[in-house]
């Protein structure tokens, strides 16, 4: 009778996929029986001092969908996913002890909080088990870029051009068709109430997309070869309404339901067989930008979470909690801002154009600490990526010019979007929907929609252009 070997632990984190998963491939290559584990860190759902959860219910639902899909995909190739809830630094060592595990394969971490957890795990393991870290997040492998992390340039262009010239994107790993699984049955995602969510929160959860690798691959195929929407991305990407104006790859990239290399490979095939244009270039550009933020965030460490940031610039923040609450709830009186914030609250998603405007407004008009806004986006976004979120907010506070939400609402013709997410204004058919507080809008029923706490003089030109446009609507 054969004696079963000690198992190897495959610890899934933000790499919830079977396709192009080097960590999984290397674990399979050992030939040892595998235990597949995901740990739900309960700290991610705790309430913050700002009055909201670190990760809200839409993020929890999207995670559950992604894990359920991973479990099904693992079972198709003979694997079983164990889902534990608690603290990774406590669960991992206990798991190692219980199952006599000698090796752990996991995707390498890069962000400050996660690195602290890893250090605690390593300390608690006390050399009883070998931890094997595999880099997997970025389009370009960390070993292939022409910079060490401490030498990452301070501008994206200075990173992007040398990287494009001197580095190549590695080929995706071949699909795994069979795994040697240790005899442990799969377990299910915990009840949402056990994570602290109320029945009302659970009932109202409605993530903008369904999570999981299966959905990610379907979305990639849909946006490219099925519809050829990719061809027009460069010109549609600044819209806010619907699913098809942009790729919607970001939620799947955030949890690793799909790899950047898989997307890149598909785009290159699209360029060869359908169309190569500014749109295909732009998608790749955004994948490279995502890499840049990851590497630059590694260089800056926990400075990216601090109010003064790594720029060490001074902004005067008033931090009015009532104004912050208005912003969070989508009750600023600025329809373009409010519609995007309400979409975020309802669905866990917001367009790039919305993120820029909502961030600029909070920081520069409400004069609120940018880290408050970054934390709120972290709580809500189903495509939350630590580097992209915090670095983008840092840029909005310290490196990007002010974005005028009045001008932007008119420029991007956001009327239908506003009507969808602000039902109080749904009956306004004219461009007054962008400035519903204006005296020209007297007599229009706004159903209690608030007026802004201040109408800034810097908005005057944009407001006048909207009023002038009313003549052409008649």
| pLDDT tens per residue across span 429-457 | 999 999 999 999 999 999 999 999 999 99
Q: What is the mean pLDDT of the chain?
A: 96
Mean pLDDT, residues 141-163: 97
For 63, the token pair is 């995670």
Residues 98 and 52 in one domain: yes
184 pLDDT tier (thresholds 50, 70, 90): confident
Quick check: 377 pLDDT over 60?
yes
- Quote the crossing angle between the two packed helices 352-360 and 335-347, to the nearest 10°: 120
Predicted local confidence at residue 473, as pLDDT = 64
Predicted local confidence at residue 280, as pLDDT = 98
Residues 354 and 341 in one domain: yes
The CA-based dihedral angle spanning residues 98, 104, 110, 111, taken in that order and rounded to the nearest 10 degrees: -10
For the chain, what percent of residues have pLDDT higher than 70?
A: 99
Predicted local confidence at residue 1, as pLDDT = 32
Q: Which of 101, 112, 124, 117 is nearest to 37 (CA)?
A: 101
Residues 388 and 443 in one domain: yes
How many folded domains does the chain comprise? 3
Quick check: 338 pLDDT over 90?
yes
312 pLDDT tier (thresholds 50, 70, 90): confident
Quick check: 101 pLDDT over 70?
yes
Predicted local confidence at residue 474, as pLDDT = 60
Predicted local confidence at residue 2, as pLDDT = 39
For 285, the token pair is 């550009």
Predicted local confidence at residue 315, as pLDDT = 86
Cα 379 from Cα 371, distance rounded (Å) = 12
Quick check: 230 pLDDT over 90?
yes
Cα 424 from Cα 61, distance rounded (Å) = 29
Q: Among 115, 136, 157, which residue terminates a domain?
A: 136
User: What is the domain extent for residue 118?
Assistant: 1-136
Instruction: Look at residue 197 and tell me if it is in a domain.
Output: no
Residues 348 and 325 in one domain: yes
Q: Contact 134/29 with Cβ under 8 angstroms?
A: no
For the chain, what percent of residues have pLDDT higher than 90?
A: 94
The better pLDDT of the pair 401, 282 is held by 282
Quick check: 3 pLDDT over 70?
no
Residues 90 and 146 in one domain: no
pLDDT 10s digits, 21-48: 999 999 999 999 999 999 999 999 999 9
């Amino acid at each position: 009778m054969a004696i079963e070997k000690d198992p190897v632990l495959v610890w899934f984190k933000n790499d919830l996929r079977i396709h192009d998963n080097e960590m999984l491939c290397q674990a399979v290559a050992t030939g040892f029986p595998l235990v597949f584990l995901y740990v739900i860190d309960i700290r991610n759902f705790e309430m913050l001092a700002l009055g909201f959860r670190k990760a809200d219910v839409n993020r929890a639902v999207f995670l559950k969908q992604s894990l359920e899909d991973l479990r099904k995909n693992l079972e198709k190739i003979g694997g079983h996913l164990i889902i534990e809830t608690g603290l990774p630094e406590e669960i991992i060592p206990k798991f190692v002890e219980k199952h006599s595990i000698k090796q752990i394969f996991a995707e390498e971490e890069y962000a400050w909080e996660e690195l602290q957890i890893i250090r605690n795990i390593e300390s608690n393991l006390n050399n009883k088990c070998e931890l094997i870290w595999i880099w997997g997040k970025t389009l370009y492998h960390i070993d292939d870029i022409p910079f060490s992390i401490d030498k990452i340039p301070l501008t994206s262009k200075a990173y992007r051009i040398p990287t494009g010239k001197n580095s190549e994107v590695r080929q995706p790993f071949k699909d795994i068709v069979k795994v040697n699984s240790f005899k442990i049955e799969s377990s299910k995602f915990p009840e949402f109430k056990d994570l602290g969510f109320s029945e009302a929160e659970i009932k109202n959860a409605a993530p903008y997309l369904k999570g999981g690798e299966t959905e990610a691959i379907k979305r990639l195929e849909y946006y490219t070869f099925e519809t050829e929407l990719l061809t027009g991305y460069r010109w549609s990407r600044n819209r806010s309404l619907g699913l098809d104006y942009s790729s919607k790859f970001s939620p799947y990239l955030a949890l690793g339901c799909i790899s950047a290399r898989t997307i890149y490979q598909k785009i290159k095939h699209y360029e060869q067989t359908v169309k190569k244009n500014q749109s295909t270039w732009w998608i790749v550009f955004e994948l490279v930008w995502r890499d840049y933020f990851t590497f630059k965030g590694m260089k800056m460490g926990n400075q990216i979470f601090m109010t003064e940031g790594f720029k060490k610039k001074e902004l005067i923040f008033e931090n009015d909690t009532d104004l912050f609450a208005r912003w969070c709830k989508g009750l600023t009186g600025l329809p373009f801002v409010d519609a995007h914030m309400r979409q975020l609250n309802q669905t866990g998603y917001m367009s790039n154009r919305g993120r820029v405007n909502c961030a600029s407004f909070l920081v520069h008009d409400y004069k609120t600490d940018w880290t408050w806004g970054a934390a709120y986006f972290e709580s809500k976004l189903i495509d939350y990526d630590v580097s992209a979120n915090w670095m983008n907010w840092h840029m909005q506070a310290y490196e990007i010019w002010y974005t005028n939400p009045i001008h932007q609402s008119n420029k991007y013709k956001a009327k239908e979007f506003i009507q969808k997410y602000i039902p109080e204004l749904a009956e306004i058919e004219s461009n007054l929907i962008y400035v519903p507080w204006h005296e020209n809008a007297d007599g229009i029923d706004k159903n209690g929609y608030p007026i802004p706490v201040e109408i800034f003089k810097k908005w005057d030109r944009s407001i006048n252009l909207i009023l002038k446009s009313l003549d052409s609507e008649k």
